């Protein structure tokens, strides 16, 4: 695991350089695609992420040597942590795609969830490219995915787009959603629609009221999408 923590600091008046183009797109794309081929390529990618990539990151506000001397990893402007190119993750390989899953887990249930996640990934030989864990605070949305302090586990998965590949991903998705529900978590709705109406109802008990209000505010059905067309009936 690589752990990132950003802390806001006041370093006075400094010149913040403009955001530039992200470099190394072709190389990063090659390493990313290479990692899909098995355990050894994935280990190579991990070695590069852990040992090489940090040396290539720039400290734009304070030189790296000064930052390290002051006990800091790096000083960057606020916009830089999120400034990255998505071009290297764009999948243009034939008969495959890269997809996201996201699950919101109560803090105290993190270890049981990860244990279950490991079992499902291994049982179905899921090509899991990356997993991110993010801190999530309570939300107040009507379809609330975070009613308490939670962790968000974001999975980046490579899958075949053949009928067999889509069927397998449906099975994996439903098993992960059941695992999430068993630890009192919820799953993120705007992804592939592999889950059953019963799973939707279990994770979002308020979904019936949501669909009722949809008809109140949009009686003519002007606004729609594939999610509503599948589950709104």
Each residue of 161-192: pLDDT tens digit? 999 999 999 999 999 999 999 999 999 999 99
Q: Is the pLDDT of residue 53 over 90?
A: no
Mean pLDDT, residues 66-70 taken together: 56
Higher-confidence residue of 80 and 33: namely 33
CATH number, domain 96-223: 3.30.70.2520
Which residues lie across from 99 on neighbouring strands?
157
The whole-chain average pLDDT of the chain stands at 88
The encoded tokens of residue 103 equal 């699950």
Q: What's phi and psi for 148, nearest 5 deg? A: -145, 180
Each residue of 129-138: pLDDT tens digit? 999 999 999 9
d(C-alpha 166, C-alpha 168), whole Å: 5
Of 41, 192, 46, 173, nearest to 117 by C-alpha is 173
Angle between helices 25-34 and 39-47 (to 10 degrees): 140
CA distances from 11 to 14, 76, 158, 184, 213 (A): 8, 11, 42, 43, 50
d(C-alpha 98, C-alpha 44), whole Å: 20
d(C-alpha 165, C-alpha 196), whole Å: 18
The arrangement of strands across the sheet holding 150-160 comes to 127-136, 150-160, 96-106, 186-187
Mean pLDDT, residues 99-118 taken together: 97
d(C-alpha 43, C-alpha 54), whole Å: 17
What residues does each domain of the chain span? 25-89, 96-223
pTM: 0.83
Of the pLDDT bands very low, low, confident and very high (cuts 50, 70, 90), residue 72 is low
d(C-alpha 25, C-alpha 164), whole Å: 32
């Amino acid at each position: 695991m690589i752990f990132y923590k950003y802390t806001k600091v006041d370093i006075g008046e400094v010149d913040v350089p403009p955001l530039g183009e992200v470099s190394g797109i072709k190389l990063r794309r090659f390493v990313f695609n290479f990692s899909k081929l098995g355990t050894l390529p994935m280990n190579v990618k991990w070695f590069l992420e852990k040992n090489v990539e940090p040396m290539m990151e720039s400290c734009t506000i304070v030189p790296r040597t000064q930052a390290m001397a002051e006990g800091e990893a790096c000083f960057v402007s606020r916009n830089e942590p999120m400034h990255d190119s998505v071009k290297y993750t764009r999948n243009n390989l034939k008969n495959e795609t890269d997809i996201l899953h996201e699950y919101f887990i109560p803090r105290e249930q993190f270890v049981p969830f990860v244990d279950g996640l490991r079992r499902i990934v291994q049982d179905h030989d899921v090509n899991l490219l990356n997993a991110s864990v993010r801190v999530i605070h309570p939300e107040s949305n009507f379809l609330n995915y975070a009613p308490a302090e939670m962790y968000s586990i974001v999975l980046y998965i490579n899958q075949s787009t053949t009928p067999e590949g889509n069927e397998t991903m449906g099975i994996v998705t439903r098993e992960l959603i059941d695992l999430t529900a068993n630890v009192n978590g919820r799953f993120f709705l705007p992804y592939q629609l592999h889950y059953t109406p019963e799973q939707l109802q279990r994770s979002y008990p308020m979904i019936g009221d949501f669909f009722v209000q949809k008809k109140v505010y949009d009686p003519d059905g002007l606004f729609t999408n594939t999610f509503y067309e599948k589950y709104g009936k």
